[in-house]
């Protein structure tokens, strides 16, 4: 299937608009599966890093427009200079002076009189608009540089591209020169070097079919969002963006982590068959959405949903979730020029609680930082190790108003249903003590102001740092529940950056060390009689379900669309077998052994589900 010379005879909508040669070779690219599903669409290459200025055609203007275009160019240059100076000032406070000097080079490029002269001459004499005049000029310089073998000059090419993209964005009124993610053409598959979580949250849901990116891993937030948007995605596809052109036909296989450019007739037939098998299985599993998630020997498991916004509620009720186990509130703070105030947050939380009609809703306080940067409110400073830096409750420690406002809104909303508040990234007891003290102060303020609130809202700790597992006994004495965040627990236990595709092979949730930390956490929770849930991606992977049950976890929270399969596995497995599996997993030395064990088990109890997992 890797190389085939047959073309599709089954055109996609939109195919006629792009002049495709009749026969194109099929090419297969591999990455990591990030979001299950299969889609077939047309490529849109996104991202400034890959802007190919050579694709720019001169865009003609009338002689009467010349002065306005020149003025537009000059003002974009001035705006770019002032942006670079602002960045430089900010950086000077946070990075070495020597490194901040890089922006001097950027200022020199943007202020280069020769470039200005040439652009203005293209506008005046060539009657081209400002964007195309600028890009044609820049491309001339880039071509000259790429003709040399000089490493220094080649590095400068990167700087020139960077600056050019900035000028271009300003010429486009602040928008990226490329396509806009919130307004995509029909049947789009985005191929990009990177999509940040806020880019992904912005994707035009009507027209996006799937995406593939060069960076990332299964548990980066971009992948998590793709799963909650129910779009197939493949990540960690190194060096692919340059191998696609806008309009290429592709299949994204989010089960196997593959992207196929120009699929052949055989490939298309293969995928049609695969999709129909998958749809059949899902419709069978869907019919069981009102059935209890109960093992064959009678153990009840509570299945809840993870959500990123109140828009996901329809999905929550469709999948039969018993509650919301994780609401990632940081998305309320992204893609917005100002942070939501107390009243705005209160309205969102209260609406959610009312819609859930008494079912438990666990809302996590903001977990900004790491890969979720929010420039409007909190984490404008780029850190050398963001996942080890100012993230989640640590950020709140530096900006106490952030957590105070959120807690006020949450405690007020607590009167509307069964609310639980959860703190992310707890690493030590003093952090929890400090947060509980803030909670008490906020309650006093509300009381003094006669504002109604629920004083009994339960407070939980996310257990996602190994130190928290090791002091789980002390933490359990302070909080009302635990929720294990396996995504970060794996990252911090194995010292593997969850975003870095180069070390993704080491990111193994099945690692016995992770299993042991889960066991310790469950034991502490049991001792203090508090509930413990797993809300990381391991909870959404049916292959891990029996092991988690065997470790004593009877509450799982996951993306709504994963619930049907996990329920399906629970209903076909026994606690007895699960405990045996967990025992072996805990005594294994190698993550691969645990994985093989997990796969064999699911193959034997639920072969239909195993067959679509890939």
* Residues labelled catalytic: 221, 535
Gap between the Cα atoms of 58 and 123, Å rounded: 10
List 248, 308, 315, 488, residue binding ligand PEP (CB under 6 A):
488
Gap between the Cα atoms of 241 and 27, Å rounded: 14
Gap between the Cα atoms of 334 and 199, Å rounded: 10
Please tell me the count of residues contacting Mg ion according to CB under 5 A: 3
CA angle 88, 90, 95 (to 5 degrees): 85
- Which of 31/536 has CB closer to ligand PEP? 536
CA angle 428, 433, 438 (to 5 degrees): 130
Extended strands (E) in 222-368: 233-235, 249-253, 258-261, 302-307, 324-328, 361-364
Q: How many CA atoms lie within 13 A of 487 on its CB side?
A: 22
486 binds, among Mg ion, ligand PEP, none (CB under 5 to 8 A by kind): ligand PEP
List 486, 493, 573, 578, residue binding ligand PEP (CB under 6 A):
486
- Contact segment (CB under 6 A) with ligand PEP among 202-210, 246-254, 291-299, 479-487 equals 479-487
315 binds, among ligand PEP, Mg ion, none (CB under 5 to 8 A by kind): none
- Binders of ligand PEP among 221-240, rule CB under 6 A? 224
Give the residue from 50, 55, 271 showing the smallest Cα distance to 165.
Answer: 50
Gap between the Cα atoms of 98 and 156, Å rounded: 17
- Residue 537 interacts with Mg ion (CB under 5 A): yes or no: no
SS3 for 610? helix
Distances (CA, A) of 171 to 66, 130, 178, 476: 15, 8, 12, 55
Min dist CB 613 to ligand PEP, Å, is: 20
Gap between the Cα atoms of 123 and 481, Å rounded: 65
Min dist CB 37 to ligand PEP, Å, is: 20
- Residue 464 interacts with Mg ion (CB under 5 A): yes or no: yes
- Residue 414 interacts with ligand PEP (CB under 6 A): yes or no: no
Structure tokens at 119: 């652009």
| 335 DSSP assignment | S
SS3 for 229? helix
Min dist CB 236 to ligand PEP, Å, is: 17
Min dist CB 425 to Mg ion, Å, is: 7
Gap between the Cα atoms of 179 and 319, Å rounded: 34
Structure tokens at 63: 């002689």
Min dist CB 289 to ligand PEP, Å, is: 23
Cβ neighbors of 166 (< 8 A, separation 6 or more) are: 80, 83, 84, 110
- Binders of ligand PEP among 144-173, rule CB under 6 A? none
- Residue 308 interacts with Mg ion (CB under 5 A): yes or no: no
SS3 for 4? strand
Inter-helix orientation angle 512-527/575-587, to 10° = 120
- Residue 488 interacts with Mg ion (CB under 5 A): yes or no: yes
SS3 for 63? helix
340 binds, among Mg ion, ligand PEP, none (CB under 5 to 8 A by kind): none
Min dist CB 513 to Mg ion, Å, is: 18
Cβ neighbors of 273 (< 8 A, separation 6 or more) are: none
- Residue 487 interacts with ligand PEP (CB under 6 A): yes or no: yes
Min dist CB 548 to ligand PEP, Å, is: 13
- Binders of ligand PEP among 350-369, rule CB under 6 A? 367
Start-end of H helices in 378-471: 393-398, 400-413, 429-448, 466-470
Gap between the Cα atoms of 254 and 260, Å rounded: 11
Query: Containing H/E element for 492?
Result: helix 486-494
Gap between the Cα atoms of 492 and 496, Å rounded: 7
- Which of 103/327 has CB closer to ligand PEP? 327
**Phi, psi (rounded to 5 degrees) for 544:** -95, -10
- Residue 386 interacts with ligand PEP (CB under 6 A): yes or no: no
- Contact segment (CB under 6 A) with ligand PEP among 22-30, 210-218, 485-493, 600-608 equals 485-493
- Which of 308/464 has CB closer to Mg ion? 464
- Contact segment (CB under 6 A) with ligand PEP among 341-349, 413-421, 470-478, 482-490 equals 482-490
Please tell me the count of residues contacting ligand PEP according to CB under 6 A: 11
- Contact segment (CB under 6 A) with ligand PEP among 205-213, 340-348, 484-492, 602-610 equals 484-492
- Residue 485 interacts with Mg ion (CB under 5 A): yes or no: yes
Give the residue from 232, 205, 202, 181 showing the smallest Cα distance to 44.
Answer: 181
Min dist CB 462 to ligand PEP, Å, is: 7
- Residue 460 interacts with Mg ion (CB under 5 A): yes or no: no
Gap between the Cα atoms of 180 and 563, Å rounded: 33
512 binds, among Mg ion, ligand PEP, none (CB under 5 to 8 A by kind): none
List 122, 328, 511, 571, residue binding ligand PEP (CB under 6 A):
328
Gap between the Cα atoms of 367 and 512, Å rounded: 27
Start-end of H helices in 172-257: 197-202, 221-229
Min dist CB 282 to ligand PEP, Å, is: 24
- Contact segment (CB under 5 A) with Mg ion among 61-69, 307-315, 344-352, 485-493 equals 485-493
472 binds, among Mg ion, ligand PEP, none (CB under 5 to 8 A by kind): none
Structure tokens at 56: 């720019």
328 binds, among ligand PEP, Mg ion, none (CB under 5 to 8 A by kind): ligand PEP
Name the CA radius of gyration of the chain, rounded: 26
Min dist CB 364 to ligand PEP, Å, is: 8
Start-to-end Cα distance in the chain? 16
- Which of 41/536 has CB closer to ligand PEP? 536
- Residue 374 interacts with ligand PEP (CB under 6 A): yes or no: no
- Binders of ligand PEP among 48-67, rule CB under 6 A? none
List 36, 466, 509, 536, residue binding ligand PEP (CB under 6 A):
536
- Binders of ligand PEP among 429-468, rule CB under 6 A? 464
Min dist CB 211 to ligand PEP, Å, is: 19
- Residue 535 interacts with ligand PEP (CB under 6 A): yes or no: yes
- Contact segment (CB under 5 A) with Mg ion among 161-169, 222-230, 463-471, 476-484 equals 463-471
Per CB under 5 A, residues contacting Mg ion are 464, 485, 488
Query: What is the contact surface with ligand PEP in residues (CB under 6 A)?
Result: 224, 326, 328, 367, 464, 485-488, 535-536
């Amino acid at each position: 299937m890797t190389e085939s010379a047959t073309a599709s005879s089954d055109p996609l909508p939109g195919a006629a608009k792009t002049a495709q040669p009749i026969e194109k070779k099929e090419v297969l690219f591999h990455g990591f599966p990030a979001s299950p599903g299969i889609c077939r669409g047309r490529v849109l290459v996104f991202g400034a890093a890959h802007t190919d200025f050579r694709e720019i055609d001169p865009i003609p203007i009338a002689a009467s427009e010349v002065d306005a275009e020149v003025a537009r160019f000059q003002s974009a240059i001035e705006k770019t200079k002032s942006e670079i100076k602002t960045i430089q000032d900010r950086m000077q406070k946070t990075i070495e002076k020597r490194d901040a000097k890089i922006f001097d080079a950027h200022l020199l490029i943007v202020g280069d009189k020769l470039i200005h002269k040439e652009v203005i001459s293209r506008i005046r004499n060539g009657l081209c608009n400002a964007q195309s005049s600028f890009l044609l000029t820049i491309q001339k310089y880039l071509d000259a540089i790429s003709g040399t073998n000089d490493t220094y000059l080649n590095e400068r090419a990167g700087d020139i591209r960077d600056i050019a993209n900035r000028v271009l964005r300003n010429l486009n009124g602040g928008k990226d020169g490329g396509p806009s993610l919130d307004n995509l053409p029909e049947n789009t598959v985005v191929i990009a070097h990177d999509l940040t979580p806020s880019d992904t949250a912005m994707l035009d849901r009507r027209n996006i079919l799937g995406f593939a990116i060069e960076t990332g891993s299964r548990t980066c937030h971009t992948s998590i969002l793709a799963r909650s948007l129910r779009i197939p995605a493949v990540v960690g596809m190194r060096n692919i963006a340059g191998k696609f052109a806008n309009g290429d036909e592709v299949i994204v296989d989010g089960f196997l982590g593959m992207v196929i450019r120009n699929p052949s007739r055989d490939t298309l037939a293969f995928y049609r068959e695969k999709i129909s098998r998958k749809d059949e299985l899902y419709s069978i599993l869907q019919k069981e959405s009102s059935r209890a998630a109960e093992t064959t020997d009678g153990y009840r498991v509570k299945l809840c949903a993870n959500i990123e916004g109140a828009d996901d509620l329809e999905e929550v009720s469709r999948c039969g979730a018993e509650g919301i186990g994780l609401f990632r509130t940081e998305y309320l703070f992204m893609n917005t020029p100002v942070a939501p105030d107390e009243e705005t947050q209160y309205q969102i939380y209260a609406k959610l609680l009312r819609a859930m009609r008494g079912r438990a809703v666990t809302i996590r306080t903001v977990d900004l930082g790491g890969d979720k940067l929010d420039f409007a409110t909190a984490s404008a400073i780029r850190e050398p190790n963001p996942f080890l830096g100012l993230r989640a409750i640590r950020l709140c420690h530096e900006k106490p108003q952030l957590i105070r406002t959120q807690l006020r809104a949450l405690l007020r909303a607590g009167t509307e249903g069964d609310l639980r508040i959860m703190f992310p990234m707890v690493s030590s007891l003093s952090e929890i003590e400090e947060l509980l003290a803030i909670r008490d102060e906020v309650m006093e303020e509300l009381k003094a102001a006669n504002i109604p609130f629920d004083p009994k809202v339960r407070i939980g700790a996310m257990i996602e740092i190994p130190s928290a597992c090791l002091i789980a006994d002390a933490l359990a004495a302070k909080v009302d529940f635990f929720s294990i965040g396996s995504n970060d627990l794996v990252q911090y236990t194995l010292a593997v950056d969850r975003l870095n595709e180069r070390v993704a092979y080491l990111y193994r949730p099945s690692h016995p060390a992770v299993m042991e930390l889960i066991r310790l956490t469950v034991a502490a929770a049991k001792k203090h009689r508090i509930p413990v849930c797993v809300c990381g991606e391991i909870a959404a992977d049916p292959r891990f379900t029996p092991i988690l049950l065997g470790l004593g976890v009877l509450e799982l929270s996951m993306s709504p669309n994963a619930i049907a399969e996990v329920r399906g596995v629970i209903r076909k497995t026994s606690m007895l077998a699960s405990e045996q599996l967990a025992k072996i997993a805990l005594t294994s030395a190698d993550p691969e052994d645990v994985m093989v064990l997990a796969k064999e088990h699911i193959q034997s109890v639920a072969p239909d589900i195993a067959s679509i997992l890939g």
